[in-house]
């Protein structure tokens, strides 16, 4: 939980809102829908970069190559993304294809290939159709521009089954400079919704060194992306990348760790990530509601997290929210099975502002008030375990017929 | 994994098939359906007993009382079960109600109340309707009898959303005595027995002391109930109880630990538990298929178990099976996210007898053979991680529209 209150975000700000970045896209035909599927985000020069990747042991070729590049150098020229094929479980050929894509973009940008990160999302276990991707590289790079249209082109090209583009930004004053933090993300399958594959690309024109940038990205992710679940199935391609051009602070000193500027920038970054994560939950496959699971009073933050995650991932809890059923026994029992050390006698559960369980016994709740809470689109379930200072917050969605439809009826 | 091959089970054998037991049931009106909801299983005398309960921190009053009784004494006269209300999150009144039910049955049976175990299943967070339960106690005890009709009455009275009664037994020869092991179970949702809302009652007329009985029950559960998941939501009421009357071995010495008889009895007990667990998976809420997830070649058994559990609990994997979609990328990626140390390059995945992924790359599988596998009712997914001797087997079901329907509309 952050101490600093988070600033409001502006969803008209996309990845090129911070100075020093351009974006472009092309349609290669990897997606069966015929929508744009190759996206390039380029900084004007090599800039400090940080990225977090999936912790899945089975990872796509893009994640392997990107990790390799980030291990070799701390500044990057840009990021390339393809959608429609995850290039995962594709062996040595998949790796070669990933490298070939980056080599092609590097030629156009005039940078070394290892100054680029790659992210890929889509079906697992199919070879990359390189005959389609190759011809798209030059047009995508030729289209590089800054501004709302470029932002829109970029975010469209990373979508799979997303029904809405997802971007957000924050402008803030940093030691007299107007700085912008912005990002674009995608989440949840396509015609091949293999998994809730999240790709997220963040930019800022603040001047930040790579170490602090990485620490800030991790802190933001821990409170946002790492507390988001649609179906508990971690993808093989998840990538969260952040580039910092410094273009809004020409001649200024980079933001220093522990400074007031660092705190303000962290809050802006966390606010952007929180809003992008919210947009993913709100567009989740088959989801009709966004559920915020807040657990407080746990013995430790880790226990709070385990309880929040168990509640957010329980199909029984998610189905109840879909059915507007205030079936709080499912919430309490999901927490109880999560390895926590609390006892029901000290627990207190509220749905919205209606307390339903306290001190080990049901509370006679106002049925009409409860029905109003359950009918809402955004619902908070707040479980206080009454055992200590630990807390955690998870964001999830409900579970509907459409989740089953989307994930059963598509056939490989 | 057991070394001894398991004997075949006979589903006509119920809880009174072993000598020395009688069962009875009554309709109290706790269940809205008007079906029987109070069940009593009584031994002719106090007999060695063992039981396993849910590991959920939030437990029903019945589990609290049963644990208390088993801590106090090692022999039991019988087991009482109610269905339709879990008597969980009901505080001190719930505990008092649980004790009152047992006191009533104890009066009828002429035994102390602490010689009885109690199991309760149903909705969480509602007071027990004692005005309905009290009048049912005498008729349930008056109905106590042995034979197929008594077995049927007992198993009907423990059902909630089950669509079919579930029982199984094995007859075996033990040192010249014909011994029977039998059991009845219920549960189709909120099932991930660590100990699930699984209630399971096992009987045998073998002579076994309480320590060995407990060890045998745990060994059987570890391979069966503890490797079963419907929705990854461990219940607050799970109870697996075993009573051994010794009535088939009059004057014989109890089965000794490490003996050939113990091994044969263990195999029979495990076979009964395995079949009951299969019957739960086959009757799972909204399930249309039984999926066996076999993981071999893991670095350790614990890693195999984590991978098998992750696959069995993935909504994406379960929806794919419902849609007959051989979407193996979901299986491999679920395992990859389970904290295993294996790499995709050493993995091999087969659906039924069709290998679909090997050595890090897809295998060109016979589409017709694969379609036949996916159309089946019982499907095995065998993932070999190629890293060591660890193995595990999980049983689960697919995930259909009806799971959502049942759990969105089952309203509190």
Q: B337 to chain A: nearest residue by CA? A: A56
Q: A345 to chain B: nearest residue by CA? A: B91
A303 to A308, A333, B326: CA distances (angstroms): 9, 15, 36
**Interchain pair B325, A91: CB under 8 A:** no
Rounded CA gap, B186 and B162, in Å?
7
Give how far B335 is from chain A: nearest CA, Å: 8
Q: What is the β-pairing status of strands B166-174 and B116-123?
A: unpaired
Contacts of A195 in chain B (CB under 8 A): 316, 330, 333
Which amino acids of B are annotated catalytic? 197
Lookup: tokens for B71: 């801590």
A391 to A329, A354, B331: CA distances (angstroms): 21, 20, 32
What pLDDT score does B1 carry? 39
Contacts of B333 in chain A (CB under 8 A): 56, 58, 88, 124, 194-195, 233-236
Give how far B86 is from chain A: nearest CA, Å: 10
Which amino acids of A are annotated catalytic? 197
Smallest Cβ–Cβ distance between B322 and the set A55, A235, A408 belongs to: A408
**Interchain pair A195, B330: CB under 8 A:** yes
Among residues B7, B333, B317, which one has the least CA distance to residue A86?
B333
Contacts of B91 in chain A (CB under 8 A): 345, 359-361
Q: How many CA atoms lie within 13 A of B282 on its CB side?
A: 15
**Average confidence score pLDDT of chain A:** 89
Lookup: tokens for A306: 């385990």
Contacts of A63 in chain B (CB under 8 A): none
What pLDDT score does B198 carry? 72
3-state secondary structure chain B: CCCCCCCCCECCCCCCCCCCEEEEEECCCCCCCCCCCEEEEEEEEEEEEEEEECCCCCCCHHHHHHHHHHHHCCEEEEEEEEEEECCCCCHHHHHHHHHHHHHHHHHHHCCCHHHEEEEEEEECCCCCCHHHHHHHHHHHHHCCECCHHHHHHHHHHCCCCCCCCEEEEEEEEECCEEEEEEEEEECCCCCCCCCCCCEEEEEECCCCCHHHHHHHHHHHHHHCHHHECCCCCCCCCCEEEEEECCCCCCCCCCCCCCCHHHHHHHHHHHHHHHHHHHHHHHCCCCCCCEEEEEEEEECCHHHHHHHHHHHHHCHHHHHHHHCCCCCHHHHHHHHHCCCCCCCHHHCEEEECCEEEEECCEECCCCHHHHHHHHHCCEEEEEEECCCCCEEEEEEEECCCHHHHHHHHHCCC
Q: A349 to chain B: nearest residue by CA? A: B89
- The overall longest dimension of chain A from CA atoms, in Å, is 68
CATH architecture of B290-409: Roll (3.10)
If phi > 0 it is left, if psi is from -120 to 50 it is alpha, else beta; for residue A257 that is beta
Q: What is the pLDDT of residues A294-336, one digit of tens each?
A: 999 999 999 999 999 899 988 889 889 999 999 898 899 889 8
Contacts of B59 in chain A (CB under 8 A): 336
Q: Which of B189, B234, B316, B321 to mutate to test the interface with A (most CBs of A within 10 A)?
A: B316
The strands making up B290-298's β-sheet, listed across from edge to edge, are B361-362, B354-358, B348-351, B378-384, B290-298, B390-397
- Residue A188 confidence (pLDDT) above 70: no
Q: B345 to chain A: nearest residue by CA? A: A91
Q: Which of B407, B409, B411 to mutate to test the interface with A (most CBs of A within 10 A)?
A: B407
Chain A touched by B359 (CB under 8 Å): yes
Rounded CA gap, A59 and B339, in Å?
13
Q: What is the β-pairing status of strands B166-174 and B177-186?
A: antiparallel
Fold of A21-282: 3.60.70
What pLDDT score does B195 carry? 39
**Interchain pair A408, B86: CB under 8 A:** no
Among residues A131, A139, A130, which one has the least CA distance to residue A108?
A139
Chain B touched by A352 (CB under 8 Å): no
Where in chain B are the domains? 21-282, 290-409
Lookup: tokens for A59: 């990872």
- Residue A204 confidence (pLDDT) above 50: yes
Chain B touched by A386 (CB under 8 Å): no
Rounded CA gap, A18 and A204, in Å?
5
Under 8 Å between Cβ of A61 and A93: no
Task: State the angle between helix axes of A328-336 and A301-313 in degrees (0 to 180), rounded to the nearest 10.
Answer: 130
Q: A86 to chain B: nearest residue by CA? A: B329
- Residue A54 confidence (pLDDT) above 60: yes
pTM reported for the whole predicted model: 0.81
Tell me the ipTM for this assembly: 0.78
Q: Is B110 buried (19+), middle (13-18) or exposed (0-12) by CB count in 10 A? A: exposed
Contacts of B405 in chain A (CB under 8 A): 401
**Interchain pair B408, A325: CB under 8 A:** yes
**Interchain pair B408, A313: CB under 8 A:** no
Contacts of A408 in chain B (CB under 8 A): 319-320, 322-323, 325, 399-400
Rounded CA gap, A43 and A144, in Å?
10
Q: Which of A58, A324, A332 to mutate to test the interface with B (most CBs of B within 10 A)?
A: A58
Rounded CA gap, B305 and A222, in Å?
27
Chain A touched by B315 (CB under 8 Å): yes
Q: A125 to chain B: nearest residue by CA? A: B362
Q: What is the pLDDT of residues B159-184, one digit of tens each?
A: 887 888 989 999 999 988 999 999 99
What pLDDT score does A55 carry? 76
Lookup: tokens for A272: 């952007």
Under 8 Å between Cβ of B385 and B297: yes
Among residues A99, A109, A53, A101, which one has the least CA distance to residue A77?
A109
Chain B touched by A334 (CB under 8 Å): yes
CB < 8 Å from B in window 193-232 of A: 193-195, 231-232
Higher pLDDT, A235 or B310: B310
Rounded CA gap, A209 and B93, in Å?
61
Q: Which residues have C-beta within 8 Å of that of residue A186, sequence separation ≥ 6? A: A83, A121, A155, A158, A159, A160, A162, A166, A197, A198, A199, A200, A280
Binned at pLDDT 50, 70 and 90, residue A1 comes out as very low
**Interchain pair A320, B408: CB under 8 A:** yes
Chain B touched by A328 (CB under 8 Å): yes
Chain A touched by B401 (CB under 8 Å): yes
Smallest Cβ–Cβ distance between B336 and the set A57, A317, A399 belongs to: A57
What pLDDT score does A190 carry? 33
What pLDDT score does B232 carry? 66
Chain B touched by A53 (CB under 8 Å): no
Binned at pLDDT 50, 70 and 90, residue A199 comes out as confident
Q: A193 to chain B: nearest residue by CA? A: B316
**Interchain pair A330, B357: CB under 8 A:** no
Q: Which residues have C-beta within 8 Å of that of residue B221, sequence separation ≥ 6? A: B52, B193, B195, B240, B273
**Interchain pair A57, B88: CB under 8 A:** no
- Residue A2 confidence (pLDDT) above 70: no
Rounded CA gap, B133 and B27, in Å?
9
**Interchain pair A330, B408: CB under 8 A:** no
Higher pLDDT, A369 or B316: A369
If phi > 0 it is left, if psi is from -120 to 50 it is alpha, else beta; for residue A84 that is left
CB < 8 Å from A in window 227-266 of B: 231-236
Contacts of A54 in chain B (CB under 8 A): 337
Size of interface A-B (CB pairs under 8 A): 222
Contacts of A193 in chain B (CB under 8 A): 316
Higher pLDDT, A230 or B121: B121
State which residues of chain B have pLDDT below 70: 1-4, 188-197, 230-234, 410-412
- Residue A289 confidence (pLDDT) above 70: yes
Residue A147 neighbours by CB distance under 10 Å: 12
Rounded CA gap, A218 and A210, in Å?
12
Sign of the alpha-carbon dihedral angle for B111, B114, B116, B122: positive
Under 8 Å between Cβ of B348 and B355: yes
Name the β-bridge partners of A80.
Answer: A40, A118
Binned at pLDDT 50, 70 and 90, residue A129 comes out as very high
- The overall longest dimension of chain B from CA atoms, in Å, is 68
Smallest Cβ–Cβ distance between B401 and the set A232, A343, A401 belongs to: A401
Higher pLDDT, B198 or A362: A362
Rounded CA gap, A127 and A191, in Å?
17
Q: What is the average per-residue pLDDT within A59-88?
A: 93
Lookup: tokens for B79: 């087991």
Rounded CA gap, B172 and B179, in Å?
5
Chain A touched by B319 (CB under 8 Å): yes
**Interchain pair A319, B403: CB under 8 A:** yes
Smallest Cβ–Cβ distance between B329 and the set A124, A322, A335 belongs to: A124
- Residue A290 confidence (pLDDT) above 50: yes
CB < 8 Å from A in window 96-125 of B: 123-125
Smallest Cβ–Cβ distance between A412 and the set B126, B325, B361 belongs to: B325
Give how far A51 is from chain B: nearest CA, Å: 19
Q: What is the pLDDT of residues A386-406, one digit of tens each?
A: 999 999 988 888 888 888 887
Q: Which residues have C-beta within 8 Å of that of residue A256, sequence separation ≥ 6? A: A212, A262
What pLDDT score does A308 carry? 93
**Interchain pair A57, B340: CB under 8 A:** yes
Lookup: tokens for A323: 């059915």
- Residue A52 confidence (pLDDT) above 50: yes
């Amino acid at each position: 939980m952050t101490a600093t209150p988070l600033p409001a975000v502006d969803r008209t700000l996309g990845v090129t809102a911070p100075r020093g970045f351009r974006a472009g896209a092309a349609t290669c035909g990897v997606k069966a829908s015929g929508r744009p599927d190759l996206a390039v985000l380029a900084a004007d020069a090599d800039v400090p970069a940080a990225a977090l990747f999936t912790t899945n042991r089975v990872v796509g070729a893009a994640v392997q190559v990107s990790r390799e590049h980030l291990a070799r150098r701390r500044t990057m020229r840009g990021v390339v993304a393809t959608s429609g094929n995850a290039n995962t479980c594709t062996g040595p050929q998949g790796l070669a294809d990933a490298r070939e894509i980056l080599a092609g973009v590097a030629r156009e940008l005039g940078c070394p290939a290892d100054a680029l990160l790659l992210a890929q999302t889509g079906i697992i276990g199919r070879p990359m159709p390189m005959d389609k991707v190759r011809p798209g590289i030059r047009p995508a790079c030729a289209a590089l521009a800054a501004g709302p249209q470029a932002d829109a082109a970029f975010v469209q090209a990373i979508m799979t089954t997303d029904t809405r583009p997802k971007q957000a930004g924050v402008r803030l004053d940093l030691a007299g400079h107007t700085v912008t933090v912005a990002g674009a993300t995608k989440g949840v399958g396509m015609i091949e919704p293999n998994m809730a594959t999240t790709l997220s690309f963040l930019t800022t024109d603040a001047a930040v060194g790579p170490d602090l940038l990485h620490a800030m990205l991790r802190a933001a992710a821990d409170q946002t992306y790492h507390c988001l679940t649609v179906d508990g199935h971690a993808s093989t391609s998840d990538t969260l990348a952040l580039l910092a051009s410094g273009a809004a602070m020409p001649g200024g000193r980079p933001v220093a760790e522990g400074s007031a500027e660092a705190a303000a920038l962290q809050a802006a970054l966390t606010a952007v990530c929180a809003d992008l994560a919210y947009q993913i939950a709100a567009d989740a496959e088959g989801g009709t509601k966004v559920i915020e699971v807040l657990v407080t009073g746990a013995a430790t933050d880790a226990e709070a997290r385990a309880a929040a995650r168990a509640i957010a991932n329980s199909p029984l809890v998610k189905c109840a929210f879909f059915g507007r059923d205030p079936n709080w026994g499912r919430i309490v029992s999901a927490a109880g099975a999560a390895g926590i050390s609390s006892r029901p006698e000290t627990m207190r559960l509220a749905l919205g502002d209606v307390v339903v369980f306290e001190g080990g016994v049901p509370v006679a709740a106002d049925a009409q008030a409860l029905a109003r809470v359950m009918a809402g689109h955004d619902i908070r379930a707040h479980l206080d375990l009454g055992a200590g200072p630990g807390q955690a917050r998870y964001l999830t969605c409900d579970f509907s017929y459409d989740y089953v439809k989307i994930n059963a009826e598509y056939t490989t």
